[in-house]
Amino acid sequence: MRLPHLLLLSALLVACAPAQQRVRSAAPAAVTTPSDAILAQVLAARVVRPSVVVPGTPPELNASITVRYGPAKPKTILLLMPGFLGGAGSFDRLARQIVALQPQTAVWSVDRRSNLLEPQAQIAAASPAELAQIVQGGLPPRSRESVAYMRDWGLDVTLRDWRTAVREARTLTPSVFIGGHSMGGSLTGLYAAYDFDGPPGDTGRGADDVRGMVMLDGAPGLLSNQPLTVQNYNDGTEGVLGPLTGLKKLPEDPYVDRIYFDPRLASRAAAQARLAAAQPNALAPSGGLVNYPATNLAAAMVQLEQRYALLPFLSLKTGRATNAVEGNNLIAAVLGGKDSYWVAGQQDSAQPVGWQTDPAAPTDARDFVSRFWTPLSDFSEWYFPNRLSLDLAAVRQGTRGTPFEKDLRVWHRVQLPALGIVAEDGVSNADEYRKYAALTGARMTVHTLKGAAHLDITAARSDQAARWILEWMGGVEAKK
């Protein structure tokens, strides 16, 4: 990524989100969190349903996918959309916490249709030796030409796939809420404001489908900076995360393939997480994710720990490397990182770099890697469609009066109850939620999760975020 792109990303992450009527800050609760044994008992199942048919897309990929936690006949359902590059697995701990605290509530975590392109069966069936090989070289990615149909997997398709699940949820209970983390928070607000009128039988605005919205460290406008012109949209331009592929070039550049993320790297991360979960203190594969001897847990966590992570939107707090020679990470500092470092190697060359968990940190490293990949879901989305990034940049917070009003139908005022939870050291802030509420009419309540980085919102030991969500949804229902 070139420095101008990094500076654009920094500008976004320093100021990117929306609104509020009440702002509350609190430290995470520590003593009432459901135990790991209780969380493990929460029932979960992966469900794939037929969804909107997109011409040119293989029929089996026209699908709406959810991982469903909790009862089959719940009183309340919360559907959660993951963020940029994220998969349904990013909600595994939070979803289980919500259900453990309120067993009559279900959480349906969304996988976007591109998750079906992932060869997860190879990760599932791999032996430790085979996982080590994947960490070293990754699984071969699909060629761009073979998935050129992804050019059409933009905002409209994403929202309609989500709506397929929302409508099924509404057949089970009228108490349906939507929410999301990071970019998923953006999509939450856009869903509510979207006009689904179009094909016969597909009518109504998104806000009519749900009782309220939950935005976790992200809201509409997160992946946009300056308004796009039609020429920008067709030919491409600079975006928040680097170059935006224009509509004309999408068939030859359909998914994210950048220095910081691509499908091969995603497969290597999943394999390393499996090794870290099973053998945390064993030596990580040489020539893998780090270029020095390290334990499996250290090799996994140094990628995302806020102290070492390159990008603030891909970071959490769990602890720090041990037996490590550290240097100042100037690139991360440009991106807004605080006390950012990189690991150069070992202090004692006879021992690998290890990992020390900080009991006071929001997230537990061992728990995190155990949830990064499971047979039901992955933390990441290997083939993130560039069309969705392009559409989000064009939409911003709405399309009324823009060149995109006809095709990207984000028209309506929202005027729904909304909950925003901000990570204190994340990518959003309470003022941005205030602006969103003022713009849309959303009735916003905001909390701040003290000490949390961006990914800690869904991965934290504490059940504070889960309790805030349940308390807020209960209050919305009480007013019905």
Residue pLDDT, tens place only, 143-172: 999 999 999 999 999 999 999 999 999 999
* Alpha helices, H only, 173-262: 183-193, 230-235
Q: Check pLDDT > 70 for residue 8.
A: no
Q: Read off the pLDDT of each residue in 180-204 and give the average, rounded to a whole number.
A: 85
Is residue 14 very low, low, confident or very high in pLDDT (cuts 50, 70, 90)?
A: very low
pLDDT surpassing 50 at residue 15: no
Residue 129 placed within a domain: no
The contacts of residue 27 (CB under 8 Å, 6+ apart) are 450, 451, 464
Q: Look at residue 368 and tell me if it is in a domain.
A: no
In a domain, 74, yes or no: yes
**281-to-144, 300, 363 alpha-carbon distances in Å:** 38, 11, 19
| Residue 259 Cα distances to 2, 140, 148, 265, angstroms | 10, 16, 21, 9
Q: Which two tokens stand for residue 283?
A: 């030596």
Tell me the C-alpha distance between 299 and 317, whole Å: 15
Lookup: tokens for 443? 């009735």
Determine, yes or no, domain membership for 128.
no
Question: pLDDT band at residue 412, thresholds of 50, 70 and 90?
Answer: confident
SS3 state at 408? coil
Confidence of residue 240 (pLDDT cuts 50, 70, 90): confident
Residue 404 tokens read as 């995109």
Task: State the helix-helix crossing angle for 464-478 and 92-101, rounded to 10 degrees.
Answer: 50
Number of domains in the chain: 1
Determine how many CB atoms are found less than 10 A away from the CB of residue 37. Answer: 7
The owner of tokens 């205030």 is 434
Task: Give a yes or no: residue 359 inside a domain.
Answer: no
330 belongs to a structural domain: no
Q: Which two tokens mark 307?
A: 């102290």
Closest CA to 258 of 334, 311, 335, 300: 311
Q: Is position 325 within any domain?
A: no
Q: Do strands 354-357 and 76-81 pair parallel, antiparallel, or not at all (unpaired)?
A: unpaired
Distance CA 319, CA 301 (A): 9
Is 60 exceeded by the pLDDT of residue 226? yes
For residue 223, the model assigns a pLDDT of 77
Q: Two tokens at 49?
A: 């349903």
Q: Are strands 319-322 and 212-216 parallel, antiparallel or unpaired?
A: unpaired
pLDDT given for residue 338 in this prediction: 65
Which alpha helices (H) appear in 154-214, and where do they start and end? 155-172, 183-193
**Average pLDDT of 24-49?**
78
Domain with 428, as residue range(s), is 14-118+138-264+377-478
Q: What CATH number does the domain containing 158 carry? A: 3.40.50.1820
Residue 387 lies in a domain: yes
pLDDT at 329 over 90: no
DSSP character at residue 184: H
